[in-house]
Amino acid sequence: MVKQSVIVPEEIAIPAAVAMAEPPAHLPSFPPPRSSSLGLRRAGYNKLFLSQPDVASGRPSTLVDSMRASSPTHPKEASAFLSSLPDAEYKDWLTQHPSALSNFDDVVAASKGKQMVMFLDYDGTLAPIVDDPDRAFMSEQMREAVRDVARHFPTAIVSGRCRNKVFNFVRLKELYYAGSHGMDIKGPSKSTKHTKSKANPVLFQPASEFLPMMDEVYKALVEKTKFIQGSRVENNTFTLSVHYRCVEEKIWNSLSELVRSVLSDYPELRLTVGRKVLEIRPSIEWDKGKALEFLLESIGFVNYNNVFPVYIGDDRTDEDAFKVLCERGQGVGILVSKFAKETNASYSLQEPSEVNKFLRRLVAWKKLHLKE
């Protein structure tokens, strides 16, 4: 019997919104005010994101529905389930999660007197979503922007990828890396003025006891799904990803059944739905939000009042970090999305090219203030 296996359609399925933290008294308009329902809780839409199907309950249609609903990366793809969302609703969403570029001055004004710390998701944030996960390269221009940002602010990459893999994409030694959705954290191997290089940089792996199990499940998934054309199992060390971006929709149900059958032997694992990916991870109390808090402490910010974390991410798992920022009433969460989604982020950017612009603007702003 599976104890805790939660499926959440990533693009639309943020669980019932958490209460937003009160804005600081001295900054009444920051973060932008928003309602929790966001006008998205309508018939079919609501049904999908409020249902939290359990793998153990044997409801294959719900899992495959979640898979269908996840990640409309192309307007054509999106139109199927967004057809019920009038433009006005998206515009309304934008008023509640305005562009971090158009509102750049508000974002930086809120950080006044505090040390900004940057947290960046990888796929869909620094690199565009592509069919082949091994070819999700970030542009040289983006690498430059992240390198510049890290010169001015402590900077961490927080990714669902395994740490080594995301490092091989980013290739910047001066950053902190939190791989496997925060379950594998390592400090920088190169020093900057913000990050002292240490002989033994911080290394934290709260799910290390699950390694043999993850390896076993990886092999079982590869074996079980080998006849599903286009599917692919990615070993992210402490987490696993079963990709279905290149699987014909008519066999998504078969794929989900196979994954379900493997996981039924592992009650200690849980399953979520990301952007055309089923993600499997240990059911421990650790996520990108916990990783953010751990990193803030590691970097030396135990004191809440002098730090301003900025977290930019596009995925369902990034919501855990946005939620932490909301609950702490601190910093700012920025969701990368072209579509209306229920989110705990305050601001939005449409795609990685806008993330690039935002990062460059931040560096320019910092340089200007250094001269003042």
Ligand X SMILES: O=P(O)(O)OC[C@H]1O[C@H](O[C@H]2O[C@H](CO)[C@@H](O)[C@H](O)[C@H]2O)[C@H](O)[C@@H](O)[C@@H]1O
What is the enclosing helix (H) or strand (E) of 313? Answer: strand 307-313
Give the angle subtended at the CA of 55 by the CAs of 52 and 61, to the nearest 5°. Answer: 75
Judge residue 180's burial from the number of C-beta atoms within 10 Å of its C-beta, 0-12 exposed, 13-18 middle, 19 or more buried: buried
Q: What is the DSSP letter of 246?
A: T
For the CB of residue 183, give the shortest distance to ligand X in the complex, in Å.
12
Nearer to ligand X, 96 or 210 (CB): 210
Stretch touching ligand X by CB under 6 A, among 101-109, 276-284, 320-328, 345-353: 276-284
Count of other CB atoms within 10 angstroms of residue 272: 24
Nearer to ligand X, 116 or 129 (CB): 129
Angstrom distances, CA of residue 77 to CA of 72, 227, 306, 336, 350: 5, 25, 44, 18, 17
Contacts of 26 (CB under 8 A, 6+ apart): none
For the CB of residue 29, give the shortest distance to ligand X in the complex, in Å.
30
What is the enclosing helix (H) or strand (E) of 280? Answer: strand 277-282
Give the angle subtended at the CA of 248 by the CAs of 246 and 254, to the nearest 5°. Answer: 110
Stretch touching ligand X by CB under 6 A, among 120-128, 182-190, 253-261, 299-307: 120-128
Tokens of 213: 């199990």
For the CB of residue 92, give the shortest distance to ligand X in the complex, in Å.
26
Nearer to ligand X, 177 or 358 (CB): 177
Stretch touching ligand X by CB under 6 A, among 11-19, 126-134, 147-155, 335-343: 126-134
Nearer to ligand X, 131 or 223 (CB): 131
Nearer to ligand X, 34 or 275 (CB): 275
* Of residues 195-254, those binding ligand X (CB under 6 A): 234, 236, 241, 243, 245
User: What b/e string do you get for 2-39 counting C-beta neighbours within 10 Å, with b at 16 or more?
Assistant: beebebbbbbbbbeebeebeebeeeeeebbeebeeebb
Under the binding rule (CB under 6 A), the answer on residue 160 touching ligand X is yes
Nearer to ligand X, 21 or 222 (CB): 222
* Of residues 314-343, those binding ligand X (CB under 6 A): 315, 317
Taking CB under 6 A as the rule, which mask of x and - marks residues 342-361 in contact with ligand X?
Answer: --------------------
Q: What is the DSSP string of 322-334?
A: HHHHHHHT-SEEE
* Of residues 134-153, those binding ligand X (CB under 6 A): 136
SS3 assignment, position 152: helix
- # binding residues, ligand X (CB under 6 A): 24
Residue at shortest CB range from ligand X: 160
Judge residue 198's burial from the number of C-beta atoms within 10 Å of its C-beta, 0-12 exposed, 13-18 middle, 19 or more buried: exposed
| Helix and strand counts by DSSP (H, E) for the chain | 12, 12
- Which residue of 81, 93, 119, 122 would you call a contact of ligand X, by CB under 6 A? 122
Stretch touching ligand X by CB under 6 A, among 17-25, 100-108, 115-123, 296-304: 115-123
- Which residue of 97, 147, 224, 275 would you call a contact of ligand X, by CB under 6 A? 275
Kindly list the residues in this chain that would bind ligand X in the complex (CB under 6 A): 121-124, 129-131, 133, 136, 159-161, 234, 236, 241, 243, 245, 274-277, 279, 315, 317
